[in-house]
Amino acid sequence: MTTTAPASEWQQAAYIAGQAADGRVNIEIETEGMSLNIGPQHPATHGTLRIVVRLDGEQVVWAEPVCGYMHRGYEKLLEVRTYPQVNTLVNRIDWMSSFANEVPFILAAEQLMGVEAPERAQWIRTIFFEMSRIANLTLFLGDMGVQLGALTPVFYAFRDREHVLNLIESATGGRFHPNYDRVGGLKEDLPKGWVDECKGVMRRVRDFCDQMEDLLVGNEIFQTRTRGIGVITPAVALSYGLSGANLRASGVDWDLRRDEDSPLAWKHTEFKVWTHPDGDSFARYWVRLQEVRESASIIDQLLDGIPAGPIMAKVPRIIKVPAGEAWCHTENPLGEMGYYVISQGGLGPFRCKVRTASFNNISILPWLLRGVYVPDVITILASLYFILGDIDR
């Protein structure tokens, strides 16, 4: 502790002026760099993510995301829930595509029980899975525009998403958290007229994709802002565990719908897996745009051929899963989501590890953000596309 009196403001100003007058000192002053908190309240982070960056002017020198503002303790919670209760909770991990969160867990439980859901249920599950993908990714398509400054596309996204959400609500009762899947099948069958309405909505979704392509993809400013920004090489992406469109945009041709044998109905459809060689933000946007189109096409193919039959297999009223371990993963809209369910024969899982895509997707940020300008940080965050519930569980 110094005992001299602190210099008065005038003295400080005189000192600085003296220093400034001495040009030599100016050049050699080492400035520390400004430390900035992006978040946790911030329009650009999709929720309460905090990224601490150290800036040198407008360039990031060091970045670290701080997670946990939304940590709900899922893995501990799931240990004290029955399987149907887990299903409800698990909806809320990635809330933009809730149905897609239920599916891998239900599949894991069914695998342990040796129960096979009837064909009709598997087809409808696939349809809802793809619809949740559309609901999730259409928001992304509009939201990336907002992060870059184009305020209009996001309204079109919300408008056209409403139709998808209405469809989900009409069948399940919930727009965001359908809670529709059950061990052994689905909660109930589709309402009358749903299939025709769905076809109409898919047409709208395709029109929306065309609109986004016109508005954003072809826009010179959008291209200047996203091409070459945030390039991720395939090897680094795999090492970090990036998945989903982020990985495919780096050129890795891997899609769990096509490459894994799943009881769901993807094997009855034909769809293309889109990849892009560049690995930059534009590639990630473009890949997701094409994925929405493919989802609409998948749903169209499935709608025509839903097999008739029961919607639920014969399962006991109280679900008790025999002892065992099962890992089940699916190609969720955000990436690869999986559940490692360890059961010891009780009413609920003994341990359930939830592997979420955004956790790995965000872990690349310290590596990716170095040397990047502040506006590009926003672009990269927008293009990586995470949901806080998925990161923080």
Partner 1 sequence: MLGLELAYWQQALIKVGAVMTVIPLGALILGYVFLLKMMSHMQSRLGPMEAGPHGTLQLLADAGKFLQKEDIFPARSDRTVFALAPVVVMVSTFLLYLVIPAGPRLIVEDLDTGVFFALAVGSLSVIGVLMAGWASASKYSLLGALRAAGQLIAYELPLVLAVVGVVVQAGTLSLQGIVHAQADGEMFGFGGIGNPYVITQFVGFLLFMVASQAELTQTPFDMPVAESELVAGYMTEYTGFRFLFFFMAEFGSAFALSAIAATLFLGGWYLPGVNGDLADYLGPLVLGGKIMFVAFLIFWFRFTYPRFREDQLQTFAWKYLIPLSLMNIVATGILKVVF
Partner 2 sequence: MSSTPEDPTTAEPAAPEAATEGQPTVEAAPEPAPEPEPVDEVREAMVSSLREVLGADVVSHHIADGDVIVRVAPTAWRQAGQVAHDLLHMDYFCFLSGIDWMPAPAMGGKAVWDPAGVDGAEDTVEEGVAAEAENGTWVTGAAGGDTRFQVFARLYSTTRHIGITLKADLDEGSPAVATWTDLYRGADWHERETWEMFGFQFDGHPGLRHMYLPTEFEGHPLRKDFPMLAREVKPWPGLVDKEPMPGEGDEAETEEAVSS
| Shortest Cβ 149–partner 1 spacing (Å) | 3
| Shortest Cβ 236–partner 2 spacing (Å) | 7
Between 117 and 377, name the residue whose CB sits nearer to partner 1: 377
| Shortest Cβ 36–partner 1 spacing (Å) | 5
Which listed option, partner 2, partner 1, none, makes contact with residue 342 (CB within 5 to 8 Å by class)? partner 2
Q: Is 19 helix (H, G, I), strand (E, B) or coil?
A: helix
Residue 105: Cβ within 10 Å count: 28
Residue 323: left (phi > 0), alpha (psi -120 to 50), or beta? beta
Between 126 and 243, name the residue whose CB sits nearer to partner 2: 243
| Shortest Cβ 65–partner 2 spacing (Å) | 9
Q: What is the spatial order of strands in the sheet that 351-355 belongs to? A: 324-332, 335-343, 351-355
Q: Is 283 helix (H, G, I), strand (E, B) or coil?
A: helix
Please report, as ranges, the residues that interact with partner 2 according to CB under 8 A.
67-68, 71, 73, 75-76, 79-80, 111-112, 114, 235-236, 238-241, 243, 252, 254, 259-261, 317-318, 320, 322-327, 329, 336, 338, 340, 342, 344-348, 350-351, 353, 355, 359-360, 363-364, 367, 392
For residues 371 and 58, is the Cβ–Cβ distance under 8 A?
A: no
In terms of Cα–Cα distance, which of 257, 233, 260, 262 is closest to 247? 233
| Shortest Cβ 375–partner 1 spacing (Å) | 5
- Look up residue 329 and give its amino acid: H
DSSP code, position 122: H
Between 57 and 366, name the residue whose CB sits nearer to partner 2: 366
Longest dimension (CA), the chain: 88
What residues line the site for partner 1 (CB under 8 A)? Answer: 34, 36, 42-44, 58, 145-152, 155-156, 159, 215-216, 219, 221-222, 224-225, 373-376, 378
